Chains A and B, each alone.
Chain A
Amino acid sequence: MSNELLFGLYIFVLAGFLGHYVIEKVPPLLHTPLMAGTNAISGISLVGSLVSAGGGYGKLSMMLGFIAVICATINTVGGFLITDRMLRMFKKKTPAKGPKS
């Protein structure tokens, strides 16, 4: 079991570093979509909720899991949709437009 802890920590620390470098490159322009997007990604806790809701853990676990599935699905589905809706709006000026004086 201590191996599992160690591997978990390995993954956590390395993913954190990777995240740092990737997220440093996100311009302030896209900070809101970044937050919406990471929100959608952390909705991955849905995977844990699924097991709780359907793993035959008994009534209480199933009910809690069921609510968790709803919450996590709201975040994943809603998160990716709203991120896309925002990103669709970001447009560059068409070069032909705007005569230079």
Chain B
Amino acid sequence: MSASLLPYLIASVCFILALQGLSSPIHARRGNLIGAFGMLVAVVGTLVFTHILTFTWIAIGLMIGAAIGAAMSIWIPMTKMPERIALSHSFGGLAAALVGVSEYHHRISGPEGIDRFTMAALGLEVFLGFLTFTGSLMAFGKLQGLITGAPVTWKGQNAINITMFFGALALLVLVVVDPHQSVLFYATGVIGLIVGVLAVLPIGGADMPVVISLLNSYAGLASASTGFALGNPVLIIAGALDGTSGFLLSLKMSQAMNRSFANVLFGAFGQVAPTPDGVAGPAANYNLATVEDAVGVLTAAQTVIVVPGYGMAVSQAQHAVRELAQALEANGATVKYAIHPVAGRMPGHMNVLLAEANVPYDQLYDLDDINDEFSRTDVSLVVGANDVVNPAAKTNPGSPIYGMPVFNTDESRAVIVLKRSMATGFAGIENDLFVKPNTMMVLGDAKKTLREFIAGVKEEAAA
């Protein structure tokens, strides 16, 4: 074991360099390569220096895993990135949990038994690992539409979840006191599996960025616990890095929604405040526009800000967005993109999609960097975004999203909103932007509408 500590040190340094590289898109790729190199060093070091008897199953496992991993990375469309990440969190959780069970099973039947500290680490590892496994599978199911994306709630839900969580911790204490209580140990794992399911069920699609980040953090903590149980420093370091990263991201995401952690986890969005009276009435008051109207406004514009949201991902409209921007630029307009931290279903979702469509990243602006510009902008083009452009967050203290930082799209001279239909999303919140006099609603599939815009703008330019 001690001889393998050197490769683990190299790997740890490489991992930190990999994260450091991500501070700028310029060296990010090189950093990622360094990280992969570190992983290779750690794996080879383990195979060489650790007492390994049979390589057959290891080799087969490595080959199967590499093939699946490569397939999942090369062919998956960028719009499916949140699903892809949720799945890999579940694999990470499962791997940690299984190693934990395997270690427990091996050591408990051995001559030395298990000391209390190792037992505590193993217990946490198995609990967190299984919780991450099912929780991430649920998140995947919701994103993929296999399970309803709406919050599923029932009476006493929070009480049950909290009881189970602390019940598992109590069991854990009992197992630490007497590691031979195998039944209790496995019960902890089973409760982890159940808590994972129950904890994610009440969380709505719009809250997915927080949940995915939090599961990322749990997967890291499960890895770190493995490190404690095995006395392996590189696992502790990598787990700590992953854990902090996920935790920081989920903090940032909650801040971007002006909600506390507790509110996201226990508050089931849209259930907090029932939709106000007379919802059905004023919703008809919006300004329905034709493609021709919108094209006229767009061709006259000198400055355009595009605000993408989850709807852009659903309709896979990122390439059409880029083509329209090019047509407008050819027409003499400047085009910028305003990206809200919680736009889409995971942190950075919109940035990746637009990068895929070859939008240069210096045209992508964060909330704080662009929000003052809307008042000087001719047209805001909202593509499948909803809550992040809702002025109610600024003006209506009764709104469930009141206080959430939103784009000042309503301050621009004209707003064009691309939306599938006028039905409210599952959050069930009315959007005041849609009924403003300077807002034009163009209903239908975003990609199709954008294609019509592009044709229209090009025609006008040629005329």
A contact set with B: CB distance below 8 Å? 1-2, 4-5, 7-8, 11-13, 15-16, 18-20, 22-58, 60-62, 64-93, 98, 101
Asked if A82 contacts B98 (CB within 8 A), the reply is no
In Å, the complex CA distance between A1 and B78 comes to: 47
Asked if A65 contacts B99 (CB within 8 A), the reply is yes
Q: Which of B22, B33, B92, B362 interacts with A39 by CB under 8 Å?
A: B92
Asked if B43 contacts A46 (CB within 8 A), the reply is yes
In the complex, what's the smallest C-beta–C-beta distance from A27 to chain B, in angstroms?
7
Q: Check if B32 is an interface residue, CB within 8 A of chain A.
A: yes
17 sample A-B contacts, Cβ–Cβ < 8 Å, listed by A number: A1-B117, A16-B241, A27-B366, A28-B252, A29-B361, A38-B242, A39-B216, A41-B15, A41-B39, A41-B242, A44-B239, A51-B230, A54-B57, A57-B106, A66-B57, A73-B65, A89-B356
In Å, the complex CA distance between A5 and B212 comes to: 30
In Å, the complex CA distance between A91 and B361 comes to: 6
Q: Given contacts A81-B69, A82-B73, could you give 9 more A-B pairs where the C-beta distance is less than 8 Å?
A: A8-B227, A15-B241, A32-B352, A39-B89, A49-B99, A51-B46, A51-B230, A83-B32, A86-B352
In Å, the complex CA distance between A74 and B101 comes to: 20
Residue of B nearest to A90 (CB): B25
Residue of B nearest to A8 (CB): B228
Q: Check if B188 is an interface residue, CB within 8 A of chain A.
A: no
Residues in B212-238 with C-beta less than 8 Å from chain A: 212-213, 216, 219-220, 222-224, 226-228, 230-238
Asked if A88 contacts B29 (CB within 8 A), the reply is yes
Given known contacts A33-B22, A92-B360, A74 and B91 CB-to-CB distance under 8 angstroms: yes
Residue of A nearest to B302 (CB): A101
Residues of A within 8 A of B164 (CB): none
Q: Is the interface of B mostly helix, strand, loop or mixed?
A: helix
Q: Check if B183 is an interface residue, CB within 8 A of chain A.
A: no
Asked if A28 contacts B366 (CB within 8 A), the reply is yes
Q: Is the interface of A mostly helix, strand, loop or mixed?
A: helix
Residue of A nearest to B233 (CB): A11
Residues of B within 8 A of A53 (CB): 57-58, 61
Asked if A42 contacts B249 (CB within 8 A), the reply is no
Q: Check if B435 is an interface residue, CB within 8 A of chain A.
A: no
In the complex, what's the smallest C-beta–C-beta distance from B319 to chain A, in angstroms?
12
In Å, the complex CA distance between A7 and B351 comes to: 40
Asked if A73 contacts B351 (CB within 8 A), the reply is no
Q: Which of A7, A16, A54 interacts with B53 by CB under 8 Å?
A: A54
Most buried by A among B22, B54, B101, B346: B22
Residues of B within 8 A of A87 (CB): 25, 28-29, 32
Residues of B within 8 A of A41 (CB): 15, 18-19, 35, 39, 238, 241-242
Given known contacts A22-B16, A44-B11, A61 and B102 CB-to-CB distance under 8 angstroms: yes
Asked if B32 contacts A73 (CB within 8 A), the reply is no
Q: Which of B99, B243, B362 interacts with A64 by CB under 8 Å?
A: B99
Q: Check if B370 is an interface residue, CB within 8 A of chain A.
A: no
Most buried by A among B32, B62, B358: B32
